[in-house]
Amino acid sequence: MHEQESSDSLVAADFFELRLYVAGQTTKSVTAFANLKKVCEEHLAGKYKIEVIDLLVHPQLAKGDQIVAIPTLVRRLPEPIRKIIGDLSNTERVLVGLQLRPSLPPEDGE
Amino acid sequence: MTEICNASSVAMPALPKCPTGIEGLDEVTRGGLPRGRSTLVCGSPGCGKTLLAAEFLVRGATEYGEPGVLMAFEETADELAANVRSLGFDVKELIDQKMLAVDYVYVERSEIEETGEYDLEGLFVRLGYAIDSLQAKRVVLDTIEVLFAGLSNAGILRAEIRRLFRWLKEKGVTAVITGERGNASLTRHGLEEYVSDCVILLDHRVTEQVSTRRLRIVKYRGSAHGTNEFPFVIDNDGLSVIPITSVGLEHPVSDERVSTGIPALDAMVGGKGVFRGSSVLISGSAGTGKTSIAGFFAASACGRGERALMFSFEEAPSQIVRNLRSIGLDLDGWIKQDMLRICSTRPSRYGLETHLGLIHKQVRDFRPQVVIVDPISNFISVGTQSEAGTMLVRLIDFLKAENITSLFTHLTHGGVGLQQTDEGISSIIDTWLLLRDTETDGERQANLSILKSRGMAHSKSIRSFRLSDNGIELS
């Protein structure tokens, strides 16, 4: 699975449509947005759009993108949809999630 | 085993309960699940936990007017609808009526990258939104442990699930959370640590190719409950738990006497027949006429305008009708008028518990005043003797509690031990008849005697017993 992913996991797209799901102005949400902004500016300058959705304001939107964890970054374009959950503090992993870098071994839990 | 309990006389502040509407479960839990709290329902795959949870919601919506939310982690809304449609529930209609909401939560690990801190607020938002939009009173999470497969950070998951259960309590909803049974614990990820109010364990065992489903209440804080394993069945009407073990020795007794259908036999028991709600056992060797007596007993009940339910473990209904016609008894008419129902099954078809369950269900459904089991000896072929004995005690207790007059036949195997019933149930039988074959002058002759008959004067004589075209003759 890993070999397969690393061979086709890189995307070359003209435009990245990103959605960041948050629930209120929590530390995690604010950190995630800041981290995302930084990664996009460095790697996707001029070809991205970030839409922030606050589920406390629009709870009905959580179902559509199958949101469970907060914060969740959803790459809506290019397809297929990819999700990155967490405060996006690990830039390498964000790049892997967006398929701008080959995949890495999983991050340690607990 | 029969529990002797007297729940009604114990005065304690009643814990508010939420009736499930599931047959038998509300009796076993003395009123339902703890209202406003969470109940964990766990068991191995295929044990029926999803069905129990779904029925809790559907019956809540249809019978108690309480809207419910199902958060499904394993089945999509369509799959769920298909599964409960077989039970006659129309999920789509309930959803249209805003009595039910189904949210299918899908977490696929390969699509998700994890980096840094997160929480499960998305799940809370979804559940909260569904609860608020329906004003839901009931919630089911089936099976939340699936999240452990989809997300890698078990530490976060544990903390968040703990928070979720607290949150559900604050919301005041009655929740059912299902969990898959683990090797050393009730659930794989130890959900039982977080759900402290009520835990129900479902079990599906197969012994000697016969399957039996059982339900046990592992704990129920602040409430009395049956502690035994209760058999349950899943059929076209959904799940039904057989609460027979919770019957005590508190049943009302009747002074009314009912005829056995054989005047000469009535004469032997004080001229008036047996007490209503009592139990009658007929022991005898093969071919002595046990089923015939049972047939007259049933017909006499029908003649009084009562309903009779007969369980046959040897003969098909049509065969019983044909055979009894030969001694001048027409049962067919009573069957057509729906006064008599004959249920025939092979004893080996189900386990004892399931048999008990099916008898229980039929009794609840048909509401007879007379129940006949012909013969009880066949149950030994299914279970061990002690199991069969226990089961019969439970059956008789149940019938007595319903004030149903019961008649059991029992096949004995010739010779000296005739007075010994294998199951040892004679002590709980009220009237015991013995049919014995004797050989005199080159002819077999059946004799009927009454070994005991509680609470009434009865004949001590041995009468000769004959089947003829005109029925049963005693002389």
3-class DSSP state of A22: strand
Looking at every residue in chain B, the average pLDDT score rounds to 85
Provide the chain B residues 155-194 that lie in CB contact (below 8 A) with chain A.
155
pLDDT mean over B236-265: 78
Q: Cβ neighbours of residue B82 under 8 Å, at least 6 residues apart?
A: none
The pLDDT value given to residue A107: 54
Highest mean pLDDT among B32-41, B240-249, B347-356, B426-435: B32-41
At residue B131, the pLDDT reads 96
Q: Please indicate whether, in this complex, the C-beta atoms of B122 and A72 are within 8 angstroms of each other.
A: yes
| Contact at CB, B125 and A82, closer than 8 angstroms | no
Instruction: Flag whether pLDDT at B128 surpasses 50.
Output: yes
* Whether B117 and A86 lie within 8 Å, measured CB to CB: yes
The residue among B309, B280, B302, B311 whose CA lies nearest residue B368 is B309
- pLDDT given at position B70: 94
Q: Which of B430, B374, B423 is nearest to B397 (CA)?
A: B430
Instruction: Give me the pLDDT at residue A110, please.
Output: 42
**DSSP per position, A56-99:** TT-TTHHHHTT--SBSEEEEEESSSPEEEES----HHHHHHHTT
- Using an 8 Å CB-CB cutoff, list chain B residues near A33: none
Residues of A in CB contact (< 8 Å) with B are 1, 21, 23, 28, 31-32, 35, 55-56, 59-60, 62-63, 66-72, 80-90, 93-94, 96-97, 106-107, 109-110
Which chain B residues are Cβ-neighbours of A110 within 8 angstroms? 153-155
Comparing CB atoms, the residue among B107, B115, B154 nearest residue A68 is B107
Q: Half-sphere exposure of B189 toward its Cβ, with a 13 Å CA cutoff?
A: 19
B411 token code pair: 């096949």
Residue B8's pLDDT band, with cuts at 50, 70 and 90, is very low
Contact B113 A68 (CB under 8 A): no
**pLDDT classification of A9: cutoffs 50, 70, 90:** low
Minimum CA–CA partner of B105 in chain A:
A66
Q: Do the beta carbons of residue B230 and residue B214 sit within 8 Å?
A: yes
* B383 within 8 A of B376, measured Cβ to Cβ: no
Examine the pLDDT at A44 and tell me if it is beyond 70. Answer: yes
Residues 47-106, chain B, touching A (beta carbon < 8 A) = 103, 105-106
Banded pLDDT at B1 (limits 50, 70, 90): very low
Looking at per-residue pLDDT, the higher value among B182 and B218 belongs to B218
Say what the pLDDT of residue B227 is: 74
- What per-residue confidence (pLDDT) applies to B385? 66
d(CA B173, CA B136): 7
**Number of Cβ pairs < 8 A linking chain A and chain B:** 113
**Mean pLDDT score, B353-362:** 83
Can you give the pLDDT at residue A56?
94
* B112 Cβ under 8 Å from any chain A Cβ: yes
Buried b (16+ CB within 10 A) or exposed e, B334-352: bbeeebbbbebeebeebbb
Q: Pick B129's closest partner by Cβ from A28, A60, A80.
A: A60
The average pLDDT across B177-204 equals: 84
Predicted pLDDT of residue B6: 44
DSSP string, B348-404: GGS-HHHHHHHHHHHHHHH--SEEEEE-GGGGGGTS-HHHHHHHHHHHHHHHHHTT-
pLDDT at A7 over 60: no
Give the pLDDT of residue A3: 42
The model's pLDDT over A12-32, given as tens digits with 9 standing for 90+, comes to: 778 899 999 999 999 999 999
**Interchain contact B147–A (C-beta under 8 A):** yes
Whether chain A has a CB inside 8 Å of the CB on B267: the answer is no
Give the pLDDT band (50/70/90) at residue B81: confident
Chain A contact for B317 (CB, 8 A cutoff): no
pLDDT top residue among B17 and B465: B17
What residues contact B318, with CB distance under 8 A and at least 6 apart? none
Eight-state DSSP code of residue B119 = B
Q: Which of B69-73, B98-102, B250-254, B299-303 has the lowest mean pLDDT?
A: B250-254
Q: Would you call A85 and B118 a contact, using CB atoms and an 8 Å cutoff? A: yes
Identify which of A63, A82, A110 has the shortest CB distance to residue B154. A110
The continuous run of DSSP H or E covering B315 comes out as: none
CA distance B206 to B212: 6
Q: Average pLDDT in the A78-96 region?
A: 89
Q: Between chains, do A62 and B129 touch, taking CB under 8 Å as contact?
A: yes
Contact call for residues A106 and A57 (beta carbons, < 8 A): no
Å between B155 CA and nearest CA of chain A:
5
Q: What percent of chain B has pLDDT over 90?
A: 36
Angle between helices B121-134 and B154-171 (to 10 degrees): 20
- Asked if the model's pLDDT at residue B176 lies above 80, the reply is yes
Contact between B213 and B230 (Cβ < 8 Å): no
CA distances from B362 to B44, B241, B344, B371 (A): 28, 13, 12, 10
